[in-house]
Amino acid sequence: MNRSLLRRLPALLWLWLLWILLWSTPSPLVILGGLLVALAVLALSRFPRVSRQITVRPLRLLALCARMAGNLVVSATAVGWAALRHGPRVRAAIVELPLDADSDLLVTLATLLTNVSPGSLVLEIDRDRRVLYVHVLLVVASDDVTDARRELLASERRLVAALGRRQDTAPAATPTSRKDDA
């Protein structure tokens, strides 16, 4: 197997998996068709080279995934209960979240990690200042804002510990928040 093919293997596997997930029924036709479509996409397109921006630490990545799965269950339950109990009167805040992530890939993954957690949604990414602006639900008091920020920062730190390298940079801006009614 030549090096060019090996470098494109992750993209091939990702496109193939994406095809299967989009069809949601892994029949033999979908699996074979997905492989053919992924091969055709890679053969007909020129993807830019992506430099290796991460260092995978398998045990930390596994711990991150396990923690994320647990957080999804807990937070989905809390958001569902709040929606049933309070309806449209659920309190929310916008939290400024300084990032440790030092690459576009890690910022993207941090954004995805934040967005898959029910009750939080990234509204804006300030790439120059390395800050996410996140809308969080279930905020009644300023302690809730602090707790939400602490949990989001902890998740991002776990991501950086699992996949990235921290670089000594200037300290991030002081985080702020603004409460509003969602």
The residues near 78 (Cβ < 8 Å, ≥ 6 apart) are 118, 119, 138
DSSP three-state, residue 100: coil
- The pLDDT of 159-174, averaged and rounded, is 60
Residue 182: pLDDT over 50: no
- The pairing of strands 177-181 and 131-137 is unpaired
Burial of residue 14 (CB within 10 Å: 0-12, 13-18, 19+) is: exposed
pLDDT in tens, 121-134: 999 999 889 999 99
pLDDT in tens, 3-31: 666 777 888 888 898 898 888 888 999 99
pLDDT in tens, 131-152: 999 999 888 777 888 888 898 8
- The pLDDT of 33-46, averaged and rounded, is 88
pLDDT in tens, 45-59: 876 665 566 788 889
Lay out the sheet containing 91-98: strands in order across: 120-126, 131-137, 91-98, 177-181
Name the least confident of 38-47, 81-90, 109-118, 172-181.
172-181
